[in-house]
Each structure stands twice: as C-alpha cells, then as structure tokens.
Amino acid sequence: MADFHQEYREKLITAAEAAALVHSGDWIDLGWSACTPHAFDKALAARAEELSDVKLRGGVLCRSLAIFDVPNAGEHFNWYSFHATGPERKWIANGCGYYIPVRYSEVPRYYRENLAPADGAVVLCSPMDEFGYFNFGVSASANAAMCETAKKVVVEVNENVPRCHGGFEHCIHISQVDFVVESENEPMDAIAAGPISEVDRKVAELIVPQIPNGACLQLGIGGMPNAVGAMISESDLKDLGVHTEMYVDAFVDMAKAGKITGAKKNIDRGRQVFAFGAGSQKLYDYVNDNPECMSAPVDYVNDIRTIAALDNFISINNAVDFDLFGQVSSETSGVRHISGAGGQLDFVLGAYLSKGGKSFICCSSTFTSKDGKLHSRILPTLHEGSVVTDTRANAQYLVTEYGCVCLKGLATWQRAEALISIAHPDFRDELIREAEKMKIWKPSNKI
C-alpha cells in the first residue's frame, strides 16, 4: 500500500511558500464560501507590493479577505465572484471586483469546458484520512472540477473543517494535490441568517400551511427562509426531506426537532443533500461525520432533472424586487450589484416540474431608504438596468407579508391585479395608475 503520509510530508509547504508560487497576472481559484482558505489569503496579502493584477475567483464569501485590506488593493488583486455577499459587493462597487453571471449548477462545466485552466487552486479541507483523502467539508460545490482543471492544486488543511459524507466529488486524493499547507486551525467562517422580523413571520405564515407531510425542502439564506424553518420546527409536519443548494442553520433546527427524516424522498432517501453549507458552529458540528448529511457537487444538486425527480418539492427563496409583469430580480437593483443568479431559477423550474412541487419567491412589500423614505418592492417595471433572475413565464408563487399569489396561467392584467393585491396598501393606487398606462389593467378590476 502506498505511503500516503510520506507523500504528504514531501508535499508539505508553508503558506508563505504557497503564496510565493503566485505571479502577477495569474488566475487563482479559491475554495467556495466557508471553505475559502485563511493562511494562504494572509500570506498572499503580505506579498501585495510584489504583485499586480492577480485575479482571484470564488463566491459566497463569509468574511472580508486579507488581500483587500492592503493599501491600494485593486492595483494588486481583483476579485471575480460567482455569487456576491456583502464584502464582495463592496469590492465590486469600488471597482476592484467583478461578477461572473452564472447558473450555479453550470459552474463545474464552466471549469471543464469554458474557462482556461487557472494557474492555481487553493481550497480549505479537512485533514487527510488513512486512505489519502482530504474532504472538501461543507463545500463540495464545484471544488472537484476546479481542482481537476487547475495547473497547480494546494490544499490548506484545517482541523476545524467538518468531514462531510457524500457520494462523489466531495474529496480529493493526495495524489491529485501538488502542495499541502497546514493552517493555524482558525474557526470555520460563520455567516448569520439575520434576525426574524415581523414581516418574515407573516410571510412564513402564508407558506408553511402549503407544505405537505413528506415534502422535500430547499431554503435560501435570510430572515424569511429562517422564519419558515423556525415555524416548521414548531409545526406538526413530519417526514420532511432536504435537497438544497445551501445548507443553513434552519435545517439543523428542523432536524433536531424531529421534522426531517427523508423517508419519503424518491432519491437519496434518508439523506439531507446540499452543495455547500454556511452558518453557525452549530451547523458545522451537526454535519461533521453525520451519515444523514450528503455533500454533493452543485451540478448534481441544482440540476433541474434531479430536483424534478423529488415529489412535493418546496423551494423558498428571496428577491430584491418584483414587477407587475411577474418578473423577479434577485441579483441587482438597477445596475447596483447585490447578489447573483445562483440556483434560484433552477429551483423555480425544478420545483414546478416536481409532482406536487411549488416554488415561493419572497420579499417584503417595502423597504426604507437611508433618507427615511418608504419604497415599494413591487414596481410597475423593474428599475432600469435590473437583471431578471426569474422570467415572468417561470415565476410560480410570489409572496409578501400581504399575501401569496400564483402567477401560473394568468394574463397580464390578472398578474397585475394579483401583484397589486400583495403590495403595501400605500402604493396600490399608484401601481393601478401605472398598470393602466401600460394597458395591463381592466376598469372592472377591484383590489
């Protein structure tokens, strides 16, 4: 049997030595979300003055990276995001970052077919096991394809990375690795779901009664999905399943409350399937070496065909704005970048194809700007420059605290009527006037 530990020792280098492999102009891929490396990031930041135009790629960062805390960071490093969080939005707004439009499910294929091989890939992993494998932890995501196509692969080992069971592409063998870096075993990056507001609770109250026993759940991140999870934990629902792009704390709470068994799933029965996870330490402790949890590549998890194979699939996600045509924007507000396409459209389409499936896109009816002014999130048309995440032909259930409407099969005036009915009352008359101008309002309509 091969001596994997000897090979490990031969490939072991310091974080500074790994950072020294990077040259100006290089493309470097980093592990996804909570499995973005720590030690390499700090070592690369220490070399900032020696480098220019280093292009780093990743997504759903849980923290601000050290490379962007250096003086004149944009001259040395540029960030390319597959899906932006708060720190990434800041870099994009400051001109030292860019978004890569993707359907998240296609990212592994992008690596294998569309992107030139990166100069290096650096990913946070759990320690090597007796068979020579490093586990990708909570981020199977597209990490296997990323490492498969990179010119050099560095794994940064951290004892706090949970070892997640999977089926395939959830780990990498020492023979596929060029270098190993041992980190200082920093805690896993946490990402907060945010407090549950009264609006979130009202939205959850509209959705939870529509979830049957044995349903399979997908939740996005944020207060509204978190509120749904909390309400399910206190409900009489049973035998729920999980098949979700992102594994969040709400699933742990539901599982501990006995609501999740996966017993009714058509595929991956008994397994909670996810492409990546991020949350509190409670989540990382729960998924660690837990056979119930299945970390799988995103081109399997988010594949519309996989989702459609699961009966009673319930998808719950957030949006930025709706318009009266039923278009959903979940990525931008005008040209201001906020998030990314992610897997939202895949789950909207897959849930509708599922026997008994439903997709719910949620948002508060209003928001208050910094000047204290109240604005409607339901608009006559999306703001100029806003990106359409879910087309008007695809949206199924749209939800605010004022109601839940299904748009399937509705004509333009019927859609306008339905959406105005769930708008904040202060904006309904104005929306009616705009609908009349757009000739999608009938004089006989009543709200």
What CATH number does the domain containing 257 carry? 3.40.1080.20
Domain assignment present for 187: no
Backbone phi, psi, residue 344, to 5°: -55, -50
Domain range for 308: 198-437
Residue 220's pLDDT is what? Answer: 84
* Chosen domain end from 182, 217, 250: 182
Same domain for 341 and 372, yes or no, is: yes
What average pLDDT does this structure show over 346-350?
97
Mean pLDDT of the chain: 94
Among candidate residues 256, 328, 250, the one with its CA nearest the CA of residue 292:
256
SS3 annotation, the chain:
CCCHHHHHHHHEECHHHHHCCCCCCCEEEECCHHHCCCHHHHHHHHCHHHCCCEEEEECCCCCCCHHHCCCCHHHHEEEEECCCCHHHHHHHHCCCEEECCCCHHHHHHHHHHHCCCCCEEEEEECCCCCCCEEECCCCCCCHHHHHHHCCCEEEEECCCCCCCCECCCCEEEHHHCCEEEECCCCCCCCCCCCCCCHHHHHHHHHHHHHCCCCCEEEECCCHHHHHHHHHHHCCCCCCEEEEEEEECHHHHHHHHCCCECCCCCCCCCCCEEEEEECCCHHHHHHHCCCCCEEECCHHHHCCHHHHHCCCCEEEEEECCEEECCCCEECCEECCEECCCCCCHHHHHHHHHHCCCCEEEEECCCEEECCCCCEEECEECCCCCCCCCCECCCCCCEEEECCEEEECCCCCHHHHHHHHHHCCCHHHHHHHHHHHHHCCCCCCCCCC
Residue 307's pLDDT is what? Answer: 98
Residue 405's pLDDT is what? Answer: 98
Domain assignment present for 192: no
pLDDT at 447 over 60: no
Residue 386's pLDDT is what? Answer: 93
Same domain for 297 and 207, yes or no, is: yes
245 in active site: yes
Catalytic residue, chosen from 156, 245, 331, 401, is 245
pLDDT at 75 over 70: yes
Residue 1's pLDDT is what? Answer: 56
What average pLDDT does this structure show over 294-310?
98
Q: How many domains is the chain built from?
A: 2
Same domain for 165 and 208, yes or no, is: no
Domain assignment present for 442: no
Domain assignment present for 12: yes
Same domain for 134 and 208, yes or no, is: no
What average pLDDT does this structure show over 181-201?
89
Residue 196's pLDDT is what? Answer: 85
Same domain for 91 and 156, yes or no, is: yes
Residue 160's pLDDT is what? Answer: 97
CA separation, residue 83 to residues 18, 100, 277, 341 (Å): 26, 8, 14, 7
Same domain for 214 and 352, yes or no, is: yes
Q: What's this model's pTM, rounded to 2 decimal places?
A: 0.95
Residue 445's pLDDT is what? Answer: 60
pLDDT digits (tens, 9 = 90+) for 4-46: 999 999 999 999 999 999 999 999 999 999 999 999 999 999 9
pLDDT at 65 over 90: yes
Residue 177's pLDDT is what? Answer: 98
Contacts of 297 (CB under 8 A, 6+ apart): 108, 140, 141, 142, 144, 145, 168, 169, 170, 275
Residue 446's pLDDT is what? Answer: 59
User: Rounded to whole angstroms, how far apart are CA atoms 83 and 269?
Assistant: 30
Residue 444's pLDDT is what? Answer: 66
Same domain for 75 and 173, yes or no, is: yes
Q: What percent of the chain has pLDDT over 70?
A: 99
User: Rounded to whole angstroms, how far apart are CA atoms 4 and 132?
Assistant: 6
pLDDT at 296 over 70: yes
Residue 400's pLDDT is what? Answer: 97
* Chosen domain end from 138, 156, 182: 182
What average pLDDT does this structure show over 105-119?
97
Residue 267's pLDDT is what? Answer: 97
Residue 129's pLDDT is what? Answer: 96
What CATH number does the domain containing 128 carry? 3.40.1080.10
Residue 2's pLDDT is what? Answer: 76
Residue 398's pLDDT is what? Answer: 98
Contacts of 286 (CB under 8 A, 6+ apart): 252, 255, 256, 293
pLDDT at 433 over 80: yes
What average pLDDT does this structure show over 195-210?
92
* Chosen domain end from 125, 149, 182: 182
pLDDT digits (tens, 9 = 90+) for 146-162: 999 999 999 999 999 99
User: Rounded to whole angstroms, how far apart are CA atoms 412 and 155?
Assistant: 53
Domain assignment present for 308: yes
